[in-house]
Amino acid sequence: MDQGQASHNSTQHSKFLHPEEPSGRDTESVTWSVASSNRLLDAQIREGLAHNLFGGLDRNLDELLREIEVSAIDREIDMERLRGIRTLLVKAAHSVAVQAEILSELRLLALTDDLTGLYNRRGFLILGMQQLKISRRNGLPLLLFFADVDHLKLANDVHGHDEGDALLLRCAAVLNSTFRESDVVARLGGDEFAVLAQEGADSTREIIRRRLNLSLREVNARGGLTPLSLSVGVSRFDPQLPTSLTELLTAADRDMYQQKRARHPARASTELSSSAD
């Protein structure tokens, strides 16, 4: 690999680094978890919202619990008062359910790409690291596909950003039709997509590449101003010799640029030179 490409790969995925990402070679020191990440995300969501949203719900819940507490210590409670306590309990449970539903929906929005509806970079990192932990437990290997939409800048320059967005949406459709629902499909940003999929007898990298090419042909057969073309790299996660998610992304990115260089040598050389400057 030449110096320009090494520079590109060393800088390209610094944005994928997670401050608490576990090292695949030191599984005993893992402190990251989906639960801890969700707690952090929930705190950030609450902080970013209008204070009167959750504050109002919290105050209502506190008032209901105080009423229940006062009623519970009354030793001479009649049936009407018991029915009142039951109503308060129902309201308290509803308040908790509303908060949980709001947080769940906002958490999903925080992990989702606005344009394509796929997971975004943050969602990919959270779910991807969870999948690596599961793979280490069950011993089943994973494949990480890194895809780059070819000629996106040209489509934006010639036909406008609506056409560029259309290409990104068609790419998302191709990936959704190629991979299974259990696979983690994400748009990392710009023209870059990633998928973490479980490897199996019917899901080797060769079989998946064939499915991907078939989906591409089907999408392009429907027409469009710019044909959709993808450069795709692949890396493999071996649970017996685990690596980090960042290392997998870097390896797949390197393989993708080798594929791109073989197909579009002039364009790849220009991009590598730009990243090295």
Q: What is the pLDDT of residue 241?
A: 94
Tokens 């800088």 belong to residue: 11
| pLDDT > 70? residue 33 | no
Question: What phi and psi, each to the nearest 5 degrees, are found at residue 188?
Answer: -75, -25
Who contacts 163 (Cβ-Cβ below 8 Å, separation ≥6)? Answer: 155, 156, 225, 226
* Dist. CA 203–CA 217, nearest whole Å: 20
**Domain boundaries of the chain, sorted by first residue:** 3-16+114-276, 49-110
Q: Are the CB atoms for 273 and 4 separated by under 8 Å? A: yes
Give tens-digit pLDDT for 205-246.
999 999 999 999 999 999 888 999 999 999 999 999 999 999
DSSP state of 116: T
Q: What is the pLDDT of residue 80?
A: 74
CATH homologous superfamily for the domain 3-16+114-276: Reverse transcriptase/Diguanylate cyclase domain (3.30.70.270)
Q: Are the CB atoms for 239 and 140 separated by under 8 Å? A: yes
Compute the average pLDDT of residues 30-51. 49
Helix (H) or strand (E) holding 185: strand 184-189
| pLDDT > 80? residue 32 | no
| pLDDT > 50? residue 2 | no
Q: What is the pLDDT of residue 209?
A: 94
272 pLDDT tier (thresholds 50, 70, 90): very low
Question: What phi and psi, each to the nearest 5 degrees, are found at residue 192?
Answer: -105, 130
DSSP state of 183: S
Helix (H) or strand (E) holding 147: strand 142-149
- Burial of 152: CB neighbours in 10 Å, binned 0-12, 13-18, 19+: buried
Compute the average pLDDT of residues 252-260. 91
| pLDDT > 70? residue 194 | yes
Name the β-bridge partners of 231.
Answer: 148
> What's this model's pTM, rounded to 2 decimal places?
0.64
Who contacts 67 (Cβ-Cβ below 8 Å, separation ≥6)? Answer: 88
Q: What is the pLDDT of residue 260?
A: 82
Give tens-digit pLDDT for 137-187.
999 999 999 999 999 999 999 999 999 999 999 999 999 999 999 999 999
Compute the average pLDDT of residues 184-208. 93
Compute the average pLDDT of residues 258-271. 64
Amino acid at 72: A
Order of strands across the sheet with 230-237? 184-189, 192-198, 142-149, 230-237
DSSP state of 160: -
Q: What is the pLDDT of residue 72?
A: 59
106 pLDDT tier (thresholds 50, 70, 90): low
261 pLDDT tier (thresholds 50, 70, 90): confident
Compute the average pLDDT of residues 118-147. 93
Amino acid at 167: L
Q: What is the pLDDT of residue 86?
A: 72
* Dist. CA 82–CA 277, nearest whole Å: 75
Give tens-digit pLDDT for 43-67.
554 554 444 445 555 566 666 666 6
Question: What phi and psi, each to the nearest 5 degrees, are found at residue 30?
Answer: -70, 125
Compute the average pLDDT of residues 10-29. 40
Q: Token pair of 156, please?
A: 């934006």
